[in-house]
Amino acid sequence: MRTLLHWEGRFTPADKAASDYVLLPFEVPPGIARLEVRYAFEGQGRPDSLSVIDLGLFDPRGADFLRAEGFRGWSGSARAEAILTPRSATPGYLPGPILPGRWHVILGLYRIAPRGCSCTVTVQGSEEEGTLPHPPPPETRGWMERSDGGEARWWRGDLQSHSHHSDAPGSLEDLVAAARGRGLDFLAVTEHNTVSHFPYLQAWSGPDLLLIPGEEVTTYYGHMNAWGLSRWLDFRCRTAEQLRAVIDAAHAMGALVSINHPKTDGPPWEYPPDLPVDAVEAWQGPWPLRNHESLVFWDRLLQAGRRVTAVGGSDKHQDRPGEGTPFYQVGHPTTWVYAEARTIPAILSAIRSGRVVITADVDAPWIELTAERGDQRWMVGDEAPPGPIRVRCVVREGKGLHLRLLTRLGELAFVPIDRSPFEWVAELDLTAHGYIRAELRGVRHFAEETPDDLPMVAMTNPIYLSR
């Protein structure tokens, strides 16, 4: 082992104000087969630390914003070391040739204490590959997909999850097994700022479970999921213009993006709400967990005339074996997508179209909202023309719960459900209402509980008035 970089320094709040990220260059000579990066900072590993510094790595192919072909991994503050070899790497980092030339360690100044924070970084290299830091990614031949003859149906899945490829304690293998155990049809694995899980997803996706390659673009001012990526997406944003450029890059590769958990402690969304996102995670993890704030965030966009799809995400951070709680699993909540095939393009297209319903669990009561006029029929995400339409909402297994219909004008109806299946039908003209959506709310225990106080059991996306 020879030392390629030893850096000691101190960051102040002024450094953070100047830039969220610091690049430390180092030279790699030819013939290196193993890199070991280690760092330490004041307060590292303590949950109450006033300073948090994140770690990542770029190789000589480049580290420039949106043109960082050299991305080799990111671990946030979850790990104190990263090891890379041609065949294998610490989860979060990408295996591959240890190219000679100028590399960069990247430090993310997430939080810096008022008195400052000292930090040290060491990089060592060896000509021997040595013990592999992690089992190498399996060989793959493309995503295993199932078309089921092209007949559209509801598929149930989860659009946000994490493993040890970012900051969860449990393995990706266990996360995927948990999704299979819950009977999900699809699972998006959305690791923070990295794509080291993609080759494993491709290998472990199967006829029973579609694994969708995702990245949670985790900026210091808000989190954004990207689903259906083919390569790494830059996350180093501070301004709305930077984030807009990242969204454009995601769309250019056919991916969709979602504002995640826009609520207190989400962490919240500090960018403007008018960025061209496709979806909002209106329901993250078990209700309530302040999800009412995210719901209001989404509803305000609807009222402003935006057509952005509400989705759910458990944000499950996989547990170590034997740990965790049955009250918080992958599939809490479940996002149902009406798609013609269980393929990545079909699922993404249905999300883009708003053909999405969210339920509290994989087997929670079900809600379906449709509208019709003559032989025309519309479902959630569709646009219905002006003039009277017959709106129909059907609830299954919902006895004792409450059905709530909402439009741009507010609450249209709030009715107790006294049988199963339950059907609500009304003649409506969307001209004034703009859209209509449905919520299934829980049992009322106290007379003074308002509809907003009752737990969400299921919710639909709107049927919109055609423009």
Contact positions vs Zn ion (CB under 5 A): 223, 260
Closer residue to Zn ion (CB): 137 or 262: 262
What is the rounded distance in angstroms from the CA atom of residue 340 to the CA atom of residue 350? 8
Q: What is the bridge-based pairing of β-strands 161-162 and 316-317?
A: parallel
Specify whether the CB–CB gap between 58 and 143 falls below 8 A.
no
Query: Minimum Å distance from CB 271 to Zn ion?
Result: 14
Q: How big, in percent rounded to 5, are the helix, strand and coil portions of the chain?
A: 15, 40, 45
User: CB-based contacts of 81: which residues, under 8 Å, 6+ apart?
Assistant: 36, 37, 38, 39, 90
**CA distance readout (Å), 282 to 28, 74, 311, 333:** 46, 27, 6, 11
Give the CB-side neighbour count of residue 152, counting CA atoms within 13 A. Answer: 11
Query: Minimum Å distance from CB 316 to Zn ion?
Result: 12
Closer residue to Zn ion (CB): 260 or 359: 260
Name the DSSP letter for residue 294: H
| DSSP line for 188-203 | EEEEET--TTHHHHHH
Closer residue to Zn ion (CB): 298 or 464: 298
Closer residue to Zn ion (CB): 295 or 458: 295
Closer residue to Zn ion (CB): 60 or 267: 267
Closer residue to Zn ion (CB): 159 or 395: 159
Closer residue to Zn ion (CB): 88 or 284: 284
Query: Minimum Å distance from CB 269 to Zn ion?
Result: 10
Q: Which residue minimizes CB distance to Zn ion?
A: 223
Query: Minimum Å distance from CB 76 to Zn ion?
Result: 11
What radius of gyration do the chain's Cα atoms show?
A: 24
Looking at residue 463, its amino acid is I
Closer residue to Zn ion (CB): 163 or 260: 260
What is the rounded distance in angstroms from the CA atom of residue 118 to the CA atom of residue 140? 43
Within its chain, how far is the Cα of 3 from the centroid? 38
Within its chain, how far is the Cα of 25 from the centroid? 31
**Buried/exposed 299-338: b ≥16 CB within 10 Å, e otherwise:** bebbeeeebbbbbbbbbbbbbeeeebeeeebbbbbbbbbb
